[in-house]
Amino acid sequence: MSDSPDRAERSASGGTTAAVGDRVLTLPNLISFVRLVGVPLFLYLFLVVRADVAAIVVLAIGGTSDWVDGWIARRLHQVSRLGELLDPLADRLYILATLLAFTAREVVPWQFTGALLARELLLLGSLAVLRRYGYGPPPVHYVGKTATFLLLAAFPILLLAAAAPGAATVAGAIGWGLAWWGLVLYWVAGAMYVVQATRLVRAMRARSGGAPA
């Protein structure tokens, strides 16, 4: 999180220390597009044809490759505005689609799904307030990235535990350990975003005399 309101404002409005371009046809963006295609493919394999093994493979590749597009973008100096939108979008869609599919087939309880969806609603409310005051979404925090990685790593392991009774004990323990830690950090990151949004709104109100931008 930003150490001061001015730094937070620059971050929330899209300012970063790395150069951000307008290119669309880049390798990181292509990886992000492929990850997005994996979402409906996973849903089809898991819910329609019940091909659990193939669904595990798609979910594992799509989830654990979360860091690849960002790493390549920085390595090849191909950071783009589109990529900054696609990367968190792919992560969020994987989490939401997997949760809804797992809940439908009773791989995870609805309470777990509800806890994650409640955090998403909280974040959407914060983003709506920021947009009202002329700010874009805040940059993804490392706590949020860690939470996302834990959740996306947990899901294929939980699916393995449900699809392979022989591995249920070990895979279930590992999967739920990752899932619960991911849930806790997901909410911690959400709280940090809310605090940052509150600081930005207060700073704007102080400068404008209380009237929204």
Q: What is the CATH number of domain 5-208?
A: 1.20.120
The model's pLDDT over 48-69, given as tens digits with 9 standing for 90+, comes to: 998 988 988 888 888 777 667 6
Q: Give the span between the Cα atoms of 9 and 4, in whole angstroms.
A: 9
pLDDT at 136 over 50: yes
pLDDT at 119 over 60: yes
The model's pLDDT over 5-29, given as tens digits with 9 standing for 90+, comes to: 343 444 444 444 445 556 667 777 7
Closest CA relative to residue 89, chosen from 109, 70, 110: 70
What average pLDDT does the chain have? 80
Contacts of 125 (CB under 8 A, 6+ apart): none
pTM score, two decimals? 0.73
pLDDT at 73 over 60: yes
Q: Give the span between the Cα atoms of 3 and 66, in whole angstroms.
A: 27
| Mean pLDDT calculated for residue range 29-51 | 88
H/E stretch holding 25 = none
